[in-house]
């Protein structure tokens, strides 16, 4: 088995309170040497895949954050989160696909010499985001999947964190899949002030 992991740290900053082409980006790539690549937020790639480029390692852990005003804490109005990721273009073909700071790019590919095989994309989160003496369930954070020019079924679908390990999608052999995720915080409970933090770790793996 081989795996590639990338993390995205989600931070909730709570204010003080009393208490290209118009289709989905799932495309076929040419068969080739066994390889797997995953990018969440900022990544490293020499050139583009379509131009014969090669992926590199990038250890950056990008942040997704929101500051909830004191008067709005727990009022049930979802809060839009933003990222410090600067990635907008796909390393597939350099097409500008995501909008920052509103969206986080997530994508990659699974490649083999043959035509049989599947890679699985999962994300793992703890049960809660935490601050001193208080927690927020990770299930309060969700995302909408889209991309500039996309009109089809999303390659990496819209969802909500489960507070554990969950499967997001599969990568059939010799495919590139990518989406842009816009995160939001449900904001339906009153919690104490503080900086609530937690980490989502994405893993693309194949046997």
The ranges assigned to domains in the chain are 2-206
pTM for the structure as a whole: 0.89
Cis status of the peptide bond prior to 101, with omega within 30 of 0? yes
Report the chain's mean pLDDT, rounded to a whole number. 88
Question: Parallel, antiparallel, or unpaired: how do β-strands 165-172 and 104-111 relate?
Answer: unpaired
Q: What 3-state DSSP class applies to 45?
A: strand
Q: What 3-state DSSP class applies to 71?
A: helix
Average pLDDT of the segment spanning 15-24: 36
Joined together, the tokens standing for residue 171 give 């990568």
Element (H, E) at 103: none
Give the pLDDT score at 24: 58
Give the pLDDT score at 1: 41
Cα separation, 116 vs 173, in Å, equals 6
Q: What is the pLDDT of residues 39-92, one digit of tens each?
A: 999 999 999 999 999 999 999 999 999 999 989 999 999 999 999 999 999 999
Give the pLDDT score at 15: 35
Residue 38 predicted with pLDDT over 90: yes
Q: What is the DSSP letter of 96?
A: B
Characterize 32-68 residue by residue with b for buried, 16 or more Cβ atoms within 10 angstroms of its Cβ, and e for exposed.
eeeebbbbbbbbebeeebbeeeebeebebbbbbbbeb
Residue 151 predicted with pLDDT over 90: no
CB 126 within 8 A of CB 163: yes
Q: What is the pLDDT of residues 91-101, one digit of tens each?
A: 999 999 999 99
Q: What is the pLDDT of residues 100-135, one digit of tens each?
A: 999 999 999 999 999 999 999 999 999 999 999 899
Element (H, E) at 77: none
């Amino acid at each position: 088995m081989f795996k590639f992991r990338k993390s995205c740290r989600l931070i909730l900053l709570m204010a003080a309170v009393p208490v290209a082409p118009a289709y989905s980006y799932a495309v076929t790539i040419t068969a080739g040497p066994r390889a797997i690549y995953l990018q969440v937020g900022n990544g490293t790639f020499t050139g583009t895949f379509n131009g014969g480029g090669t992926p590199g390692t990038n250890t950056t852990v990008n942040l997704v954050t929101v500051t909830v005003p004191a008067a709005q804490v727990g009022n049930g109005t979802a809060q839009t989160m933003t990222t410090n990721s600067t990635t907008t273009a796909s390393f597939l073909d350099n097409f500008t696909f995501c909008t920052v700071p509103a969206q986080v790019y997530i994508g990659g590919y699974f490649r083999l010499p043959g035509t049989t095989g599947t890679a699985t994309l999962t994300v793992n989160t703890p049960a809660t985001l935490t601050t001193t003496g208080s927690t927020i369930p990770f299930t309060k954070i969700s995302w909408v999947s889209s991309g500039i020019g996309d009109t089809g079924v999303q390659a990496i679908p819209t969802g909500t964190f489960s507070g554990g390990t969950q499967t997001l999608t599969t990568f059939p052999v010799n495919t590139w899949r990518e989406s842009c995720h816009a995160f939001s915080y449900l904001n339906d409970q009153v919690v104490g002030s503080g900086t609530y933090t937690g980490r989502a770790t994405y893993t693309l793996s194949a046997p």
